Amino acid sequence: MLVTGGAGYIGSHACKALKQAGYTPVTFDNLITGWKDAVKFGPFERGDLLDRARVNEVFAKYKPTAVMHFAALSQVGESMQIPGKYWRNNVFGSLELIDAAVEFGVKNFVFSSTCATYGDQDNVVLDENSVQLPINSYGASKRAIEDILANYSESNGLNHVIFRYFNVAGGDPDGEVGEFHQPETHLVPLILDAIDGKRDALTIFGTDYETPDGTCIRDYVHVCDLVDAHVLGLKWLEDGKGDRVFNLGTGKGFSVREVMDAAAYVTNRVVPQIEGERRAGDCTKLVSGSVRAETELGWKPNRSNLETMIKDAWRWHQNGHFEK
Ligand code: UFG
């Protein structure tokens, strides 16, 4: 089982879940945003997806029968400032990986996509059949990879499951791995940084959105629930059930202010805050409107309530970090 991005936040949690399910997750990661210390559940191979010879070497060494592809640049804000970086890394890198998978006879491919592929669609229920109109380069790069997979399924018989994540938060309750980005750009860890003085304040990116409290709304899903769905997705492919797209969200939206309030409640601390400008590329509201993962995969998210996610993130935040 090859796991690209296995040294990253979601990939490392996936490796733990895969190991628990009886697989041997081989991490392939360039460590640009990932951490060697986070690779705890299987072999590690350092490399870049753009380096096809290195990718081939790893396929030849381990002969994986399936690939889980997490490796990507994933910052919405940065993708608007440096779009070429996202197109090159995410799309070209994925193409090399997909070509190698076909060359080495891999049949099953699980891909991390995003609700950012839907874009800003007001009052539309976002299910897997919704039109994809990304408003940032990150979402556009992920949509392009979805298209590549559809083509390769048709032409090369590469079966795939695509997961469109909503906003991932929380961490391993055992504290073996957790969310740790350098620099950090995600809302929950930034709020926790502000709470314990690691940064001066949380800047709210826009307070004039057309939402009840003026701040953006997102659907938060616990990373452990998210990776459980990946194991189910892999089994789906192993059972020969064919290509499928699944949203991974809870269907409940929380505004930036609501997340801050929940963090203040869980930690019993004040969140120092500043009201700032909108961040380019941000959608007003992204909330899943699908229960396909529950009904078809049998996915049962059990840690994805806001308080549990923040509690797990807070525990990790106080004790955990990685070093290169
Ligand atoms: N936000 C702030 N202040 C900050 C950071 C974030 O107000 O300092 C706001 C954002 O504007 C947004 C919300 O908090 O409204 C969540 O922002 P994140 O950066 O945590 O997450 P994004 O929604 O931008 O993107 C994340 C992942 C993507 C994924 C996407 C799906 O980074 O990989 O969720 O929505 F695709």
Q: Is the confidence at residue 67, as pLDDT, over 70?
A: yes
* pLDDT band at 4; cut points 50, 70, 90: very high
Q: Is the confidence at residue 324, as pLDDT, over 70?
A: no
Q: How far apart are CA 19 and CA 42, in angstroms?
A: 8
Ligand 1 atom showing the smallest separation from residue 281 Cα: 24
- Write the residue with the smallest CA distance to atom 12 of ligand 1: 216
**Average of per-residue pLDDT across 166-184:** 95
| Nearest-10 crossing angle of helices 187-195, 306-319 | 60
CA 215 to centroid of ligand 1, rounded, Å: 11
Encoded tokens for 46: 């350092």
Rg of the chain's alpha carbons, rounded to an integer? 19
Encoded tokens for 1: 């089982």
Q: Is the confidence at residue 213, as pLDDT, over 90?
A: yes
Nearest to 188 by CA among 317, 79, 70, 91: 317
Question: What's the mean pLDDT when you consider all of the chain?
Answer: 96
Question: 248 forms bridges with which residues in the sheet?
Answer: 165
Burial class (CB in 10 A: 0-12, 13-18, 19+), 105: exposed
Percent of the chain with pLDDT over 90: 95
CA 64 to centroid of ligand 1, rounded, Å: 33
Single-letter amino acid code for the residue at 315: R
Q: How far apart are the first and last CA of the chain?
A: 24
Sign of CA dihedral 256, 258, 260, 263: negative
pLDDT confidence of residue 124: 80
CA 186 to centroid of ligand 1, rounded, Å: 6
Ligand 1 atom showing the smallest separation from residue 276 Cα: 7
Q: CA distances (Å), 189 to each of 2, 12, 309, in order?
A: 28, 17, 11
Please enumerate in sequence order all residues whose Cβ is within 8 A of that of 37, keeping only pairs 6 or more positions apart, or say none. 322, 323
Probe residue for ligand 1, chosen from 187, 195, 215 as the CB with the greatest number of ligand atoms within 8 Å = 187
Encode 118-131: b = buried (16+ Cβ within 10 Å), e = exposed.
Answer: bbbbeeeebebebe
Q: What is the pLDDT of residues 133-146, one digit of tens each?
A: 999 999 999 999 99
Nearest to 111 by CA among 155, 149, 62, 151: 149
Single-letter amino acid code for the residue at 279: R
Number of C-beta neighbours around residue 42 at 10 A? 18
Question: Is 280 in contact with 235 (CB distance < 8 Å)?
Answer: no
- Write the residue with the smallest CA distance to atom 14 of ligand 1: 187
Tokens 């991974």 belong to residue:
248
Q: Is the confidence at residue 122, as pLDDT, over 90?
A: no
Q: What is the pTM of this model?
A: 0.97
Q: How far apart are CA 58 and CA 42, in angstroms?
A: 14
* pLDDT band at 210; cut points 50, 70, 90: very high
Ligand 1 atom showing the smallest separation from residue 279 Cα: 11
Residue 264 — φ and ψ, nearest 5°?
-65, -40
pLDDT confidence of residue 321: 75
- Write the residue with the smallest CA distance to atom 30 of ligand 1: 167
- Write the residue with the smallest CA distance to atom 8 of ligand 1: 203
Q: How far apart are CA 119 and CA 123, in angstroms?
A: 12
CATH 3.40.50.720 matches 2-169+219-249: yes
Q: Return the percent helix, strand and coil in the chain, to nearest 5.
A: 40, 15, 40
Q: Is the confidence at residue 96, as pLDDT, over 90?
A: yes
Probe residue for ligand 1, chosen from 80, 137, 167, 223 as the CB with the greatest number of ligand atoms within 8 Å = 167
Percent of the chain with pLDDT over 70: 100
CA 24 to centroid of ligand 1, rounded, Å: 32
CA 23 to centroid of ligand 1, rounded, Å: 32
- Write the residue with the smallest CA distance to atom 3 of ligand 1: 204
Q: How far apart are CA 66 and CA 41, in angstroms?
A: 17
Q: How far apart are CA 85 and CA 287, in angstroms?
A: 27
Ligand 1 atom showing the smallest separation from residue 256 Cα: 14
Ligand 1 atom showing the smallest separation from residue 115 Cα: 31
**Average of per-residue pLDDT across 275-296:** 95
Instruction: Just list the catalytic residues.
Output: 138
Q: How far apart are CA 49 and CA 4, in angstroms?
A: 9
- Write the residue with the smallest CA distance to atom 34 of ligand 1: 167
Pocket of ligand 1 (CB under 6 A): 74, 76, 114-116, 166-167, 185-187, 190, 202-205, 216, 218, 256, 279, 282, 286
